Amino acid sequence: MDADEVLLRTLTPTVIGILVRRGADFAAAEDAVQEALVEAVRTWPDDPPREPKGWLVTVAWRKFLDGARADTSRRHREVLVEGEPEPGPGEAADDTLQLYFLCAHPSLTPASAVALTLRAVGGLTTRQIAQAYLVPEATMAQRISRAKRTVAGVRLNQPGDVATVLRVLYLVFNEGYSGDVDLAAEAIRLTRQLAATTSHEEVAGLLALMLLHHARRPARTGPGGKLVPLAEQDRGRWDTSLIAEGVEVLQTALARDRLGEFQAQAAIAALHADAATVEETDWVQIVEWYDELVRLTGSPVARLNRAVAVGQADGPPAGLAALAGLDPGLPRYTAAAAYLHERKGDPATAARLYAEAARSAPNLPEREHLTRQAARLNAQLRG
């Protein structure tokens, strides 16, 4: 991604905010800014503007007026622009925060909220979003239009719920990487930008969580997209500066003593990051953080992960006992059971469970990983 593209993406929410302050409704402002972005991508390489933000505002406003030409209120809008002061830095930050809330509005489906956030807050083009999610551009364009119609009646100055915004950003991050847009990096950028406009502890918690997981990315996949589990990763390939930043962001948030699920998850990731070798992992503390996470969320997935951690801290039988109360239909339940049975010294059961887990794996690298585990144990059993 070149410098212009970074700049364009960063300026997008600010410019939408300026257009809305001038009297444009959100949907029209967003369309106008998107058109201006497309024009910038086309013309800036040969003819860079002296004032990128001023250029974007001018071009987007012109696009907006073009779009509204048939509209009888056009004259009114032009009058409005006269004497309208540029928003100050504080107001621009408020505008950006409001855009996050609007794009993650609870009336939107998760997929719509993700698409709208990437376009209006992230400054990505519809084509880039479509490529990242492997759907045709026309489908993504419709998804975004519908999302904009859904929030058409929402006023931009209403306070929103940070938790809904965080869920959207988490989804973008967890989608991983496909196409030429790095969604994980994009999610980090958007979470950083959000952290700059609000001091909410969970925003910091999510940012720390993302940084700590992103730090492991170079070590997480082997040749051909092969999944390398945490215990087998080459920790020398973890990004230490991302880890340092993640730990610092997390510690600042934890010091304020308002714990939330993302801070707890980040704490678990930080404990893994802190271990120079897998043997040095502080599983007792990790179990304690999972206890917090279960208390905060009641999530069955957190209980499942806790059972695996208990298996490390107190031995496989304790882990299997922790697993016993959970729904076997949970994603990755069978894989966790297979792992604990192998560590308990029951390769036959483990092999059968790994094979079963492979059949219901939700993605190809995981399926292949689980199949290899089953194959390894079966070969061992044959002697």
Q: Contact residues for another protein (CB under 8 A)? A: 109-112, 114-115, 133-136, 138-140, 142-144, 146, 173-178, 184, 209, 213-214, 217, 227, 230, 265, 268-269, 272, 305, 332, 361-367
Identify any residues that bridge with 217 across adjacent strands, giving them in sequence order. none
* Complex with another protein: residue 209 or 259, whichever CB lies closer: 209
User: How far is residue 150 from each of residues 70, 98, 108, 144, measured CA to CA in Å?
Assistant: 24, 16, 7, 10
Of the two residues 17 and 205, which places its CB atom closer to another protein in the complex?
Answer: 205
Give whichever of 24 and 267 is closer to another protein, judged by the CB atom: 267
Burial annotation 54-74 (CB, 10 A radius, 16+ → b, else e): ebbbebbbebbbebbeeeeee
Q: Which of 163/171 has CB closer to another protein?
A: 171
- Comparing CA positions, the residue from 33, 51, 31, 55 lying closest to residue 145 is 31
User: What DSSP character marks residue 275?
Assistant: -
CB of 183 to another protein, least distance (A): 9
Q: How many CB atoms lie within 10 A of CB 8?
A: 23
The distance of closest approach from Cβ of residue 246 to another protein in the complex, given in angstroms and rounded to an integer, is: 13
| Separation between Cα atoms, residue 185 and residue 174, nearest integer Å | 11
Q: Which residues partner with 178 through β-bridges?
A: 181
CB 122 within 8 A of CB 93: no
Smallest distance from the beta carbon of 81 to another protein, in angstroms?
33
Consecutive H or E run containing 58? helix 52-67
Q: What minimum distance in Å lies between the beta carbon of 87 and another protein? A: 32
Give whichever of 21 and 272 is closer to another protein, judged by the CB atom. 272
- Those residues whose C-beta lies under 8 Å from the C-beta of residue 133, and which sit 6 or more positions away, are 115, 140, 175, 178
Q: How far is the CB of 229 from another protein (least distance, A)?
A: 9
Nearer to another protein, 21 or 119 (CB): 119
Nearest approach, Cβ of 304 to another protein (angstroms)? 10
